[in-house]
Structure 1
Amino acid sequence: MDTELLGQQASLEVRNVGGIDETAVAFDPGITILTGRNATNRTSLLRSIMAVMGSDDASLKADADEGRVDLTVGDERYVRTFTRSNGTVTTGGEPFLDDPELADLFAFLLESNEARRSVAMSEDLRELIMRPVDTDAIHAEIRELEREKSRIDDELDDLEDLKGDLPELERKRSRLEDDIEAKREELAAKEEDIEALDADLDETREEKRELESRLDDLREKRSALERVRSDIDLQQDSIESLTAERRELEAEREELPDAPMGEHAELDDEIERLRGRIDTLEREVSDLQDVIGFNEDQLDETGAITSHLDAGDDEGAVTDALVDDSVVCWTCGSTVETERITSTLDQLRSVRQEKLETTRSLESELDELKEQRRTYRKQQQRRESIDRKLDDVATELDDREEQLESLREEREDLNDDIEALEAEIETLESDDFGDVLDLHKEANQLEFELGRLESDLDDVTDRIGSIEERLTEEEQLRSQREEVDAELRNLRTRIDRIEENAVEQFNEHMAAVLDILGYDNLERIWIERVERTVREGRRNVDKTLFELHIVRSTESGATFEDTIDHLSESEREVTGLVFALAGYLVHEVYETVPFMLLDSLEAIDSERIATLIEYVADYAEFLVAALLPEDAQALDDDYTRVTEI
């Protein structure tokens, strides 16, 4: 929550929401008591607060076409509007929360609150606590980090391989340096022999120069031939690599499933159908909420007594009305039992819940279809990419094969030139030049071998330098891997920590509340987090469950475990409230939602209501509770009271 909102007064203005025509209420930080009998619009005011906070659990006044709630906290202002058009109510404005799910579950604790009702109805408590947690996003993040960890491990393995290559490369460099030194010494000795012979052959210098020219030509041709041979080897390696790449691409393309465009079109149609179905369900849920909200407001705000008192002046009739538990139905005009209207409301709530669950199921199915469509499109894109690569590889293969053919022709030409030069040199040889010619040939060969050794040394030195540069990345990679490992551990235990914290918070608060409320034969209510094998469809799966345990005591002091069905209405209400409070604390709802709302506490006696409100008030910035006058008397007179709405 924005710290600038702490300690600020909140002002609420409401028009045409629930049973309220128009009102304005100010709330100081702390506890505010809405006190009064039925027909004082207390519940409507609470639902108005919910609406401006972002909840959809509020309705437009039945006889109005427009409604509005304004909330001002400090310098910040928030608005929620309601507009009726063609029988459908739409909402607008800028409420306090973008997503009200947490608040609806754990902060707005009216009678219909799902967390409160789930305890009494023995529903899945874990599902409620974990519903706001995006476990799919957590699992997706885990998969992404596992891929990142695998990539880092591959790089570290590569570095380890490179480390293993270094000793042999360094030995090779040392051998090459020794070979080069020996070859230079041998060449120097050969050149000294040539110079010694040259001193005795001054008279034939001209012939010698011609011979040397031919020898130089021969050396150049041999060097060119070696270059061409090297280029041929490179081209052959490239052709082999490209051929292997083509085979891999063809194999990958063969593995890709066919995804005809017709199937894509069917997916698009199904996605649009599901979207339409979801929109229809959401409108139906909205309409049901309007009906439920209207009837709840009528039950809460009109009261049965007033309708009977208006029926006549006869004292006996008035007395009969006071004890009669019937009401004039505002829909059909007939007299019906209040319980029938309440039962109908429960049925409507069940229908609304079923439609919400159907909507969630359809949204899940829609997400799966969208993912399937994305997968098809990715496969189609990959297929097109492979086709382009195959075309590129085929073009490059043609180019390299042409170059290879050209190099082979050049090699043949050089071989012919070398043979011709060698034949020409043979004709220039004489008895006088035989020794010097042999020495020159040997010197040429030594120079050629020396050049190749020096080239090999350069390659080895470059390779060693490249490896040493790569090895400088090892420390950073290991640091990254540690960070990824830590984050993975955190993500893998986050869901467990949330569940464990929820159970711990519930058990601590329930123990504290039971202690201060003093139920005589209720020793303990606690949640146990257990693993159970349950049947889902045709499979048995392991699931984590939150099991609610109730321990009672007898007058003799013996204890025994009981079930939620055997709790009194007061005990069930307290258990539901404490469970909601546990969710409120576990998800730190107070950090984002300034209001906690309490209503329908009549099943709990006044003293316990006062104790419970004072216990809960330590957490919320604004705690607003709707109480009957006799229940409100048990609370401190210093608390703000609102009696006129």
Structure 2
Amino acid sequence: MQRNVDRTERDVPERATLVADNIGGIDRTEVSFERGVTVLSGRNATNRTSLLQAIMAALGSDQVSLKADADEGHAELEFGDEIYRRTLERRNGTIVTDGDPYLDDPEVADLFAFLLEANGARRAVRRGDDLREPIMRPVDTDAIQAEITQYEARKRQIDEQLAELDDLEGRLPDLEAKRTRKADEIETLREDLEAAKAELEETPIDVEQRRQDQSELETKLESLRDTRSDLERVRDRIETERESIEALEDEREEVQSELDSLSPDDETAVDQLEAEIDALREEKADLSEEISQLQSTIQFNERLLDESASFLENASGPDDRETDDDLTDQLLGDSEAVTCWTCGSSVARDQVETTIEQLRSVREERLEERSEINADLEERQETLSTINENRTEHRQTRERLDSIDAEIDRRQERLEEQTAKREELTDEIQALESEIDDLETDDYAGVLDQYKEVNQLEFELERAEREREEIEAEIAEIEERLDEREGLESRRDEVTDELTSLRTRIDRIEANAVEAFNEHMENLLETLEYGNLDRIWIDRTTREVREGRRKTERSSFDLKIVRSTDDGAAYEDTIDHLSESEREVTGLVFALAGYLVHDVYETVPFMLLDSLEAIDAERIGALIEYFEDYVPYLVVALLDEDAQAVEVDHGVVSEI
């Protein structure tokens, strides 16, 4: 992956203006940003994080909070020729959003662009989690699998069509040989017919008598020839019906066997499963509500701490500025009391912080419980779906069997009709032959035999020509079908390529994410010069996991760390032993990898950075310079002393 990839040179407006009311700790503010780096510079509790939340709100994130003493808030972002508005309203202890934000779905941006302290990607690194989950969270693997199934079905269909063409092509040589033999047979019959007619013309007989007898005989012979043709067609139909009945009976046997292997599931079991699914859904909904309430409570307490600090810093009058900082530092240095503006009670700051940690722990437990319930729910839904599919298949197979039985009955009736017609035609032929025999006289015997021979030759010639036409029509149809081969092969290649792409899409995303992280981590470690920290990288391995009732192989992203001792000996370390600064840099690099792998810059050209105090000022400046190459708008909240270390061209916002 190359640096300076011109991601900031895309069609992105040069300027953005934000207006916010009652977001975080902000009463009202209006701030403009130029494309590139913007530093929000100030002391603690000066609403820098609140301004970042206001940007997030206008962009579409729900991870924002209202001002504690307000019931409604508003964020508006003017970006190019468009204005994006978002409202926040407190209802029943939760925050409800409305409006027309920049993003329809903020999930990817929340993970990889809005890098505040509670950002999921940064937290995953801090906790030492499997990093595959946050990287792959935006990827709809179910949708990819559904596409794979569709393309597999298309490929099977094309393969069957191509196999059918191969069979048809294999029949062509036999059909062409048959056509040649039939042409030779027709030529022979025509020659025999011409010879028989010539012989009949040369036979000596009374011309007038011959004319009369010939007329009557030709009528009889014409009827005989037509009747024989009808009998031939009836015999063909009888043979066709018998072959169809045999094929249907074979199919019926297969379908009956398939039906016997299927059995409708017990209705009671279905009802029980549906009841369990409903109960799990209710339990999941209750947990989701509790998680939401816990998050609101956590945000409330966090704002309580921030607003209390802000109040202390601004509590002195204009003439007391010189002593204000000392007083604030004294109060903030110890376990000062925090006053709740809703009930008026005072609580020690460290007690509030402890409560926040406890609430976060409870929220994590509830999230795990919800995840387990969701797994149980998916398992039962999958079981119910399998049962319903089995029941549907049983019904469809039963209907198919009934349809085959009805078709067999219809063909049996037609077979009986054609058999009866065959008997009628056979009797009619025998009667005609008897009538022709009655015309025979001693003087006319030889001529009659000649007439019979001519009639028989004409009948055989007519049948041979009809059979040749059928052979030629079949050859023409096969050749027309074979013209489809090139198009089918082209479609199969396209489907195969798409299948390969789909099957490797997840693998490519994982590989690209690991490559991006490892490359940027290597570059930044070299730039930031972290002492004895030699290397940090992600090792992609495979492990067996349980999905519902199945076990499957899935990738795992394991963070690897190598340090060296003073004497140069290398050893492997863990994330727990990294300094806070090293851990924060690692989390930010991981988020940058996600930002690039998922092309987040194409959907939201902003990246927001906060809570960088654990990193020293010089390294913060280098980090911002590195990130600048990949982000159109980089907005960073920094303390005044850290902001002074930023050397790249940047805008500064100090009044919020």
Asked if TM exceeds 0.5, the reply is: yes
Query: How far 1:181 sits from its partner (Å)?
Result: 0.4
Correspondence 1:360-399 to 2 at 5 A: 360=371, 362-363=373-374, 366=377, 380=391, 382-386=393-397, 388-399=399-410
Kept in 2, the 8 Å contact 1:43–1:300? The answer is no
Deviates more, 1:238-247 or 1:414-423: 238-247
Query: How far 1:435 sits from its partner (Å)?
Result: 1.0
Deviates more, 1:269-278 or 1:20-29: 269-278
Structure 2 equivalent of residue 558 of structure 1: 569
Structure 1 equivalent of residue 590 of structure 2: 579
Query: How far 1:480 sits from its partner (Å)?
Result: 1.5
Structure 1 equivalent of residue 242 of structure 2: 236
SS in 2 for 1:230: helix
Question: Which of 6, 10, 18 does residue 12 from structure 1 map onto?
Answer: 18
Structure 2 residue 409 is matched with structure 1 residue 403: no
Identity of aligned residues (%): 53
Give the whole-Å Cα distance in 1 for the aligned partners of 2:626 and 2:163. Answer: 58
Kept in 2, the 8 Å contact 1:307–1:327? The answer is no
Query: How far 1:474 sits from its partner (Å)?
Result: 1.1
Structure 2 residue 59 is matched with structure 1 residue 53: yes
SS in 2 for 1:603: coil
| Alignment-mate amino acid for residue 108 of structure 1 | F
Structure 1 equivalent of residue 3 of structure 2: none
Give the whole-Å Cα distance in 1 for the aligned partners of 2:158 and 2:186. Answer: 40
Structure 2 residue 555 is matched with structure 1 residue 544: yes
Correspondence 1:352-363 to 2 at 5 A: 352-360=363-371, 362-363=373-374
Give the whole-Å Cα distance in 2 for the aligned partners of 1:261 and 1:69. Answer: 53
Structure 2 residue 167 is matched with structure 1 residue 161: yes
Structure 1 equivalent of residue 532 of structure 2: 521
> Please, which runs of 5 or more residues in structure 2 have no aligned partner?
1-6
Correspondence 1:113-512 to 2 at 5 A: 113-199=119-205, 202-203=208-209, 205-259=211-265, 268-303=274-309, 306=312, 321=331, 323-328=333-338, 330=340, 338-360=349-371, 362-363=373-374, 366=377, 380=391, 382-386=393-397, 388-512=399-523
Kept in 2, the 8 Å contact 1:79–1:95? The answer is yes
Give the whole-Å Cα distance in 2 for the aligned partners of 1:521 and 1:153. Answer: 59
Give the whole-Å Cα distance in 2 for the aligned partners of 1:536 and 1:381. Answer: 25
Give the whole-Å Cα distance in 2 for the aligned partners of 1:2 and 1:424. Answer: 102
Give the whole-Å Cα distance in 1 for the aligned partners of 2:648 and 2:425. Answer: 112
Give the whole-Å Cα distance in 1 for the aligned partners of 2:538 and 2:406. Answer: 70
Structure 1 equivalent of residue 4 of structure 2: none
Structure 2 residue 111 is matched with structure 1 residue 105: yes
Kept in 2, the 8 Å contact 1:307–1:328? The answer is no
Query: How far 1:630 sits from its partner (Å)?
Result: 1.4
Kept in 2, the 8 Å contact 1:19–1:298? The answer is no
SS in 2 for 1:551: strand
Kept in 1, the 8 Å contact 2:245–2:408? The answer is yes
Give the whole-Å Cα distance in 2 for the aligned partners of 1:370 and 1:210. Answer: 83
SS in 2 for 1:17: coil
| Alignment-mate amino acid for residue 142 of structure 2 | D
Kept in 2, the 8 Å contact 1:103–1:593? The answer is yes
1:161-203: per-residue Cα shift (whole Å, max 9, x none)?
A: 2221111111111011001101111111111111111545655
Q: 1:585 to 1:207 in 2, by over 3 A?
A: closer
SS in 2 for 1:456: helix
Q: 1:3 to 1:391 in 2, by over 3 A?
A: farther
Question: Which of 43, 59, 62 does residue 37 from structure 1 map onto?
Answer: 43
Query: How far 1:423 sits from its partner (Å)?
Result: 2.8
SS in 1 for 2:61: coil
Structure 1 equivalent of residue 72 of structure 2: 66
Query: How far 1:388 sits from its partner (Å)?
Result: 5.0
Give the whole-Å Cα distance in 2 for the aligned partners of 1:405 and 1:538. Answer: 55
Kept in 2, the 8 Å contact 1:44–1:297? The answer is no
Q: 1:421 to 1:606 in 2, by over 3 A?
A: closer
| Alignment-mate amino acid for residue 289 of structure 2 | R
1:481-525: per-residue Cα shift (whole Å, max 9, x none)?
A: 222222222222222222222122112211221222222222222
Deviates more, 1:50-59 or 1:551-560: 551-560
Kept in 1, the 8 Å contact 2:376–2:548? The answer is no
TM-score by length of 1: 0.90
SS in 2 for 1:20: coil
Give the whole-Å Cα distance in 2 for the aligned partners of 1:4 and 1:86. Answer: 43
| Alignment-mate amino acid for residue 76 of structure 1 | E
Structure 2 residue 95 is matched with structure 1 residue 89: yes
Kept in 2, the 8 Å contact 1:211–1:425? The answer is yes
Q: 1:43 to 1:630 in 2, by over 3 A?
A: same
1:315-350: per-residue Cα shift (whole Å, max 9, x none)?
A: 999896364233325377666554443333233233
Q: 1:567 to 1:53 in 2, by over 3 A?
A: same
Question: Which of 19, 25, 32 does residue 26 from structure 1 map onto?
Answer: 32
SS in 2 for 1:143: helix
Q: 1:603 to 1:173 in 2, by over 3 A?
A: same
Query: How far 1:550 sits from its partner (Å)?
Result: 2.1
| Alignment-mate amino acid for residue 495 of structure 2 | V
Give the whole-Å Cα distance in 2 for the aligned partners of 1:492 and 1:409. Answer: 61
Deviates more, 1:617-626 or 1:371-380: 371-380
1:584-611: per-residue Cα shift (whole Å, max 9, x none)?
A: 1222211111221111111111111112
Q: 1:555 to 1:335 in 2, by over 3 A?
A: farther
Give the whole-Å Cα distance in 2 for the aligned partners of 1:431 and 1:216. Answer: 23
Kept in 2, the 8 Å contact 1:38–1:302? The answer is no
Kept in 2, the 8 Å contact 1:58–1:289? The answer is no
SS in 2 for 1:431: coil
SS in 1 for 2:98: strand
Give the whole-Å Cα distance in 1 for the aligned partners of 2:594 and 2:618. Answer: 25
Q: 1:402 to 1:515 in 2, by over 3 A?
A: closer
TM-score by length of 2: 0.89
> Please, which runs of 5 or more residues in structure 1 have no aligned partner?
none
Give the whole-Å Cα distance in 1 for the aligned partners of 2:332 and 2:494. Answer: 72
Q: 1:607 to 1:464 in 2, by over 3 A?
A: same
Query: How far 1:226 sits from its partner (Å)?
Result: 2.3
Structure 2 equivalent of residue 613 of structure 1: 624
Cα RMSD (Å): 3.3
SS in 1 for 2:29: strand
Kept in 2, the 8 Å contact 1:41–1:301? The answer is no
